[in-house]
Structures are given as structure tokens and as C-alpha cells.
Amino acid sequence: MTLFNTARILRQEPVAGEIPPAKSLLRDTVQVAWPSIIESFLVALVGFIDTIMVSVLGSYAIAAVGLTQQPKFIGIAVFMAMSTAISALVARRRGEKNRESAVQILRMCILVTVILTAIISVVCVAFADPIIRFAGSAEDTHEAAVEYFQVIMGGIVFTTVMMIINAAQRGAGNTKIAMRTNIVSNLVNIVFNYLLIGGNFGFPELGTRGAAIATVIGSVVGCGMSIASMFSKQSFVFIRGVRGWIASRFDIRSLLNVGTSAFVEQIFMRIGFLLFAITVANLGTTQYAAHQIGMNMMSLSFSFGDGLSVASVALVGRSLGQERRDLAKLYAAMCQRLGLLCAFVMSMVFLFFGRNLFALFSNEPEILDIGVMIMRILCFVIYMQISQVVFFGCLRGAGDTKYTALASLISVTFIRPGLSWLLCYPLGLGLFGVWMGLVGDQFMRFLLGYIRMKQGKWLKIKI
């Protein structure tokens, strides 16, 4: 039984047919969710701090780093999809108490990740110049963006391996492991940012390249911690406890079934986000820098939904693995309520302290004025954002990734960039139009997620 002694919630599984009281559901949800929320929030916070530290170089540096984000995420889309699939499958196998299957899936995914990352890394480094130019770089941002992108993608293998292992740990309910690795990784990142961006304590002054190197160093440390977590006998995914690096045919089919849909979803999302970013980049460096700061603010609010989404994957997947559809619905509802509470708190922070937060990045009057507009929009959109993220987490935990891929195609790939471009240029609303396009995307994803959850088809999917 020690192999399953990974988290208190996973030790105190409900008796078959028993409906736990609301306090028990809340306790279980919080126990799984809080490490993921803290992890996701700290990752977003480090991105926030990262941008502040880069901002000392000027608005061009903020824009340059921002330009690399969507090309990077397109490059690692396959691994993000794989992490979604492995988290859902490990959660389901956890409910079925099939540890051997879970470990074999993880081992195979690590092997595939290393091979694919090597190929993608070489391609991205070699073609960094045209990739960044396509992303919308200007003359004052291009060189710095290319340099940053090459360093990040050159060391991306540490990020992808850590991503896969942490996804498996989250699926097993071991959210504290992922939290610890990301906290340490990001602290290392911040320290080396300070040392390498401005050249402190005798270190070379490397500017944006120093920020990229600091990120890679942090990933190396985090990856090492993630790998070490698989060798703990207390872990459900104890890698030494099972032989073989290739999963069974059934597991491979399940992985492909969930992973392919998740990959298509990631591609749709990243294409939409890239087109959205290009629309903003064409407005100029100052506008793009202000937009990038706003997106950093949005990532802070997203982190709460993302943490609850991770919890919903583990709790819904485990419940369905136990054939407890009633529990899956109850855990989904509890995650949603906690999400709305988080949305309220963050909206109040943005409402009363929005301009002050923007002032941490820049004192340029134009950027601060844009910041007030963005923060007011975020106060409204944050409720839809967190709700839809939790909805989609529940659907992914159930293996309903085909629907989430379709929803992303409709909303992120078409509505967000299309509506943003229409409002920004033909209707002349500029950056305000871009952000209203984002509101349209969030509303559509909220609506599609709500409808699917109400239909209940996600409760009957076998993976």
C-alpha cells in the first residue's frame, strides 16, 4: 500500500456509492488544488518579475521577449499535448489502481520527448531569424528577439522533460512535487536574471540573452528535481518498480486518442495566439510592450484557473476511473466555485491597483494610460477566463479532448484573431479593439465549455 501513499486525498478514497459531505469535497479539492495554484501563480509571478527585470533595458526588450513566446509555444505544442494526455491517463490509471500501466506510459513519453525535442530544438535555432520576423518583429526588436529565442529553444529539452514528468505526477495527485520543482526552478531563474541581465557581482552584462540563459539554468535545476521524484518509492509513478520502456498497445491507443486531439487543440490555440500577437505587433513597439505587460497581468489571473484545472484533471480522472460519475460532477462543481472566488479577489486587485501594477514595468505616460484600459477589461474578463479554464480541465480529465480541440478551433483560431483584427484596423479601435477580440474569445470558450458540461457526455468517455 505504500506505493499509493502519495497524498492524503488519494489515501482517503470514498467508499463505493457513498456521497461525501460538502466539507470533505472541499477539503479534497483544496488538498490537490493548492500546490497547483501556488505553482501556477509563482510561474506567472516569475514571468511578471522577469518582464520587470528586462524592462530596465527599455520597452524594446519587453517587446522582444514577448515576440518569442508564441513561436516557442508552437515549438513545444506536441509536448504540451502529451502532458495533457499523460496527466489524464495517469489519473484514470490511479483510479483503476493500475500502476504498471501508468509507469510504462510515462517511460515511453520521456523517451519520445527527448527524441522529438532534439529535432525541434535544432530546427528552431537554425531558422530563428525567419521565425521571429514572421512573428512581427520590428527593426528595434528583431536582433534581441532572435538571440533570446535561440538560447531558449537551444535548452528547451530540460523544460519539455520536466513538463512530462510533472504532468504524470499531477495526474497521480502528487501536485506538491510539481510545485516544488517549479518554485526552485523559478527562484534560480530570478537569481541569474539579476546576475546576467545587468552584469552584477562580476557576471557579464548580457541583456536579453542573459534573461534567456537564466531561464535555461532554472529549467536544468527543475528538470533534475523532476527526474529525482520518479525514483522515490513513495511515488505512484516510481520508475524503477516497472520494467519496459514501451507501453501496451491499449495504452498507446489511449495515449494517441487523447494526445492527438490535445495536440490539434494546442496547434489551433498557438496559431490563433500567434495571429493575435502579430496583429498587436503591427501597432508598434510601445503598443506591443503595453500589450505584453497586460498579458503578464492576465497570466496572473489565469494561474488560479490553471491550478484548479490541474486539480480537476486529477479528481475527475480518478473518479471516472473508479466508475464514480457522481463524484466527478461534484468535484467539477467544487473546482468551479473555488475558481469564481479567485476571480473575485483578482478582479478587485486589478480594479484598485491596476495602474500601480503597470507602473512597476514602465513610467511612460502612454503605456500607463493603455494599462488602465487593459486592467478595466481584465476586471470583467477574468470571470469568464477562470470558469472556462476549469470547464476545459474537467473535460480533459475525462478524456473529452476532441471537443476541447473543436472549441479551440472555433474560438482561439478564428474568433480571437479575426475579431481583434476587425476591431483594431477596419473599425479603427486600435489596441482596445484587440482586447475586445480577446473578450469575444473568452466568452465563446466559456459558453462552449458550459454547454458541454451541462450535456454530460464527458462522463461516459472511456480512455
Is pLDDT of 11 > 50? no
**Given this model, what pLDDT does residue 6 score?**
33
Is pLDDT of 28 > 90? no
pLDDT band at residue 17 using 50, 70 and 90 as cut-offs: low
Q: How far is CA 178 from CA 43, 304, 311, in A?
A: 11, 15, 12
**Given this model, what pLDDT does residue 220 score?**
96
Q: Which residues of 99-125 are buried (b: 16+ CB within 10 A; e: fewer)?
A: bebbbbbbbbbbebbeebbeebbeebb
For CA atoms 342, 347, 348, 353, give the dihedral sign.
Answer: positive
Average pLDDT over residues 268-287: 87
Average pLDDT over residues 320-336: 90
Question: How far apart are the two ends of the chain, measured CA to CA in Å?
Answer: 25
Given phi > 0 = left and psi -120 to 50 = alpha, else beta, which region is 203? beta
**Given this model, what pLDDT does residue 263 score?**
87
Average pLDDT, the chain: 86
The number of CA neighbours under 13 Å toward the Cβ of 37 is 19
CA distance 444 to 404: 12
**Given this model, what pLDDT does residue 244 score?**
67
Grid-cell match 476571480, residue found: 343
**Given this model, what pLDDT does residue 340 score?**
93
Residues 342-383 have pLDDT tens digits of 999 999 999 999 889 888 887 888 888 999 999 999 999 999
| pTM listed for this prediction | 0.75
Higher pLDDT, 164 or 366: 164
CA distance 274 to 280: 10
